[in-house]
Amino acid sequence: MKNSTYKKIYLSGSILISLWFGLSGFFELTRNPAVWDITRKLGYPEHFIYILGVFKIVGVIILLTPNRFNRLKEWVFAGMLFDIIFAFFSKVAVLGPSSVADTLIALILLLVTYFSFNRIYHIVYASKDLNR
């Protein structure tokens, strides 16, 4: 695939992932029952839900900042991956396997976005090294 294709996939994926995590973080910080009640049912304490909400909002801001914080974006992707993995296993354990469709969609979206991010910035770094 061309570099421009990866950029389009990355941009689209970043927007969708940011909406997903941004809304989730906002709902956690505002105690919205749509997210709050499920997270409490999974056994997470209130203080953890607030911390998770703050980190999601900060991660979205970093992810949506263009052409900056690329190393930090790697950490954001890792944090989002851990969030999805923990949500998946928590839901399987407490709510049953039929409750994990949303986490599987988020996982696929995150992996495709990260793969595109990695392809774009690996190419950019490689071309910078050749010009030295």
Residue range 63-81, pLDDT digits in tens: 999 888 998 999 999 999 9
More confident residue, 132 or 81: 81
pTM, two decimals, is 0.87
Nearest to 14 by CA among 68, 50, 52, 63: 63
Q: Is the pLDDT of residue 131 over 90?
A: no
* Distance, first Cα to last Cα, the chain: 26
Q: Is the pLDDT of residue 85 over 60?
A: yes
Q: Sorting pLDDT into bands at 50, 70 and 90, what band is 130?
A: low
Question: What's the mean pLDDT in 78-103?
Answer: 96
Q: Sorting pLDDT into bands at 50, 70 and 90, what band is 18?
A: very high
Q: Measured between alpha carbons, how far is 24 from 20 in angstroms, rounded to an integer?
A: 6
Q: Is the pLDDT of residue 57 over 60?
A: yes
